[in-house]
A = this chain, B = another copy of it.
Amino acid sequence: MVPHLTTALTGPLLELEKTFLSRATHIEQWFRGQWLEHTPPFYGSVDLRNAGFKLAPVDMNLFPGGFNNLHSDFQSLCVQAAMAAIEKICPEARNLLLVPENHTRNQFYMQNVARLATILRQAGLNIRIGSLSPDITAPVTLDLPDGQSVLLEPLQRVGSAGRRLGVDGFNPCAVLLNNDLSGGVPPLLQGLHEQFVIPPVHAGWATRRKSQHFLAYNDVAADFADCVGIDPWLINPEFESCSQIDFHARQGEEQLAEAVDAVLTRVRRKYQEYGVQETPFVIVKADAGTYGMGIMTVRDASEVVGLNRRQRNKMAVVKEGLQVSDVLVQEGVHTFETVDEGVAEPVVYMIDRYVVGGFYRVHTARGRDENLNAPGMHFKPLSFETHCTLPDPCSAPDAPPNRFFAYGVVARLALLAASIEIERTAPQNA
């Protein structure tokens, strides 16, 4: 099943999909050239929003947690891409340590860990799973609802002078983080200079900033738009960032209101240019952090002035108690895809530079101008049934293979931006 796109496809998106389709080969060449200069992250997932008149990434996750939501038909593509990634990063690696998030009670998440471990094993690595959780003091086997099981072991430093990270009896060549380090880089993970740590720890949310990502994305989108001859706005959400905000102390509200107004003004102008009738909105979110905490939908600058206590509390803290002082004000992109009356948002999964699958987050209780990745919201994953790499020039620009191809293109632009972001923010370049 493919979500129904409610906008009549006669506007700019049809043009966008047509352009992607007619320039598909050229687009692949452009990417190939980019990947000669930038190293793709080992893996990543991108949240897209499809407004009919605009198709843009709104979030780029470097610690993807939904491999279990991918269609099992895509497993082979995942394994092949993982083989290519390993060949590039650490071809001689035999042992890889996977470090998951601590929420071991989230069975959906643990199924993701199990799936990821299977992909990596089939790609030819010995995998052990080392947990940072203080609750895991001895090996624990978790049985999962899908019949799989996962063995979690306590992480420990190994090797001479404890210079390496491992688990009991296992000294890996590489460490793959599936933990976004929202709580900072724990001592166990510090000073690992003898092992590949993927992604690098500075890509964790303790140091990563969404605004850095979208700055890099600005450059990528401009280059790409120039290459295929489109307005970059069609694939790029406007944004502003604000720092030194203290929601509790009501500091920086004016600065935030100005940023909201600036973004809304630019979006209004674009809506006018393209004859879009919708009401512009922005998403205000923490510049660091994930899980959709600390997020507001705002339609007017006045809404962020004089927030009540509940609103301020909601915005002030994200995962692991991380205090929010930096905020991203991002153009809201409506989602006009629906499945069974629910609003659907595509999420695209990549390993190395390859799109390996994706799924829709489907929410029945949310509007098309709301964030769909929110705490406590149970989305229904609907896996893509079609590959993202096989555009079909004989079908309509909006036929599923072509729509998915467009998703794959925009998702890879975000992946490329992540590569550049990680390069730019590497400690030696800071």
A64-98: CB near B (< 8 Å → 1, else 0) gives 00000000010111011101101100011010000
Q: How far apart are A47's CB and chain B's nearest CB, in angstroms?
A: 22
Task: Write 7 A-B pairs (CB below 8 A) sorted by A numbering.
Answer: A25-B125, A32-B92, A76-B387, A76-B390, A83-B353, A122-B389, A122-B391
Q: How far apart are A231's CB and chain B's nearest CB, in angstroms?
A: 24
A113-140: CB near B (< 8 Å → 1, else 0) gives 0000000011111100000000000000
A31 within 8 A of B: yes
A416 within 8 A of B: no
Complex: A16 Cα to B290 Cα, angstroms: 47
A354 within 8 A of B: yes
- Evaluate contact between A124 and B28: CB separation under 8 angstroms: yes
A36 within 8 A of B: yes
A24 within 8 A of B: yes
A35 within 8 A of B: yes
Complex: A133 Cα to B87 Cα, angstroms: 40
A15-39: CB near B (< 8 Å → 1, else 0) gives 0000000001101110111011000
* CB-defined contacts of A125 to chain B, threshold 8 Å: 25, 28-29
- Evaluate contact between A80 and B81: CB separation under 8 angstroms: yes
* CB-defined contacts of A391 to chain B, threshold 8 Å: 122
* CB-defined contacts of A83 to chain B, threshold 8 Å: 28, 32, 353-354
Complex: A87 Cα to B76 Cα, angstroms: 20
Complex: A80 Cα to B77 Cα, angstroms: 8
Most B C-beta atoms less than 10 A away, residue of A29, A94, A353, A391: A29
Main secondary structure of the interface of A (DSSP, over half): helix
* CB-defined contacts of A33 to chain B, threshold 8 Å: 91-92
* CB-defined contacts of A32 to chain B, threshold 8 Å: 83, 86-87, 91-92, 124
* CB-defined contacts of A29 to chain B, threshold 8 Å: 94, 124-125
* CB-defined contacts of A79 to chain B, threshold 8 Å: 389-390
- CB < 8 Å: which of B73, B124, B389 contacts A25? B124
> Nearest 6 CB-CB pairs, A to B?
A28-B124, A76-B387, A29-B124, A84-B84, A79-B389, A29-B94
Considering only residues 1-54 of chain A, those with a C-beta below 8 Å from chain B are: 24-25, 27-29, 31-33, 35-36
* CB-defined contacts of A87 to chain B, threshold 8 Å: 32, 35
Q: How far apart are A116's CB and chain B's nearest CB, in angstroms?
A: 15
A202-230: CB near B (< 8 Å → 1, else 0) gives 00000000000000000000000000000
Complex: A390 Cα to B75 Cα, angstroms: 8
Q: How far apart are A172's CB and chain B's nearest CB, in angstroms?
A: 13
Complex: A123 Cα to B84 Cα, angstroms: 15
